[in-house]
Amino acid sequence: MLTGWYQTLFMLLAILPFYVTDTYFHHRYDPQRPSGKSGRSWLIVGVSLVISAFLLLQPIFWPGLSWYTSAAWGLAIQIIGVMSLLAAAALNLWARINLGEFYVQRSEVQENHRLINTGPYAYVRHPLFTAYFLIIIGVFLTNPAWHTLLVLIGGYFYITNLARKDEAVLRQELPEYEAYMATTPRFLPSLHG
């Protein structure tokens, strides 16, 4: 397994593009929002930055917290983790491009909101949440440790809860969302076509 700076660089492959994409789209669309409010939740941003900073610094300053094996399968798991991180960054960008001005970091429907069912939204209802799952899975696989396992487990429950809240709001505000829910899986594309 690669350790230290390598683990940090692996995680930066996805974490940095996430923040750059997020900042770009907020900068682009926030001025156009009819409410005049930002779509950004500073609580979510702050908590994410603190967690990300710890996850990025831990392999360098506290490497003993990570699990390690010298077996070849350890490196193979890290490579799968890097692939997950890259897929997360790509899916995040693809979803954000398709969602455009309707992206917010909380459950809300904007004025003139419409159902987005193009791009990754044609395959899953919550591709951004799928991207978040991929990033926390990738972080765990590139830097296996108790704390990254806890982030993975906590992230699963947090993201699943957010998806339920989003669906409740969207079902109430967008009449066509109920039919969309019936035909489009929540996080993973259907293998049945």
What 3-state DSSP class applies to 127? helix
Q: What's the pLDDT score for residue 153? A: 97
32 secondary structure, DSSP code: G
Would you say the pTM of this structure is higher than 0.85?
yes
Cβ–Cβ < 8 Å for 39, 104: yes
Tokens (6 digits) for 172: 């109430």
Entry field: residues in the chain: 193
Q: What's the pLDDT score for residue 39? A: 66
Q: What's the pLDDT score for residue 86? A: 94
Domains of the chain (ranges; CATH) run 5-31+38-183 (1.20.120.1630)
pLDDT for 19-76, tens place per residue?
899 889 888 877 776 666 766 677 787 888 899 999 999 999 999 999 999 999 999 9
CA distances from 79 to 5, 7, 52, 84 (A): 15, 11, 20, 9
Which range is least confidently modeled, 3-7, 8-12, 39-43, 189-193?
39-43
Does 182 or 192 have the greater pLDDT score? 182
What 3-state DSSP class applies to 66? strand
Q: What's the pLDDT score for residue 193? A: 59
Cβ–Cβ < 8 Å for 165, 125: no
Tokens (6 digits) for 169: 């709001």
**Residue 144 — left, alpha, or beta (φ > 0 → left; ψ -120 to 50 → alpha)?**
beta
pLDDT for 71-118, tens place per residue?
999 999 999 999 999 999 999 999 999 988 887 766 777 778 889 999
* Cβ-defined contacts of 69-74 (< 8 Å, 24+): 69/1, 70/1, 74/1
pLDDT for 159-183, tens place per residue?
999 999 999 999 998 999 999 999 9
Q: What's the pLDDT score for residue 5? A: 93
Q: What's the pLDDT score for residue 63? A: 93
**Partners of 145 in beta bridges:** 66
Tokens (6 digits) for 4: 């230290």
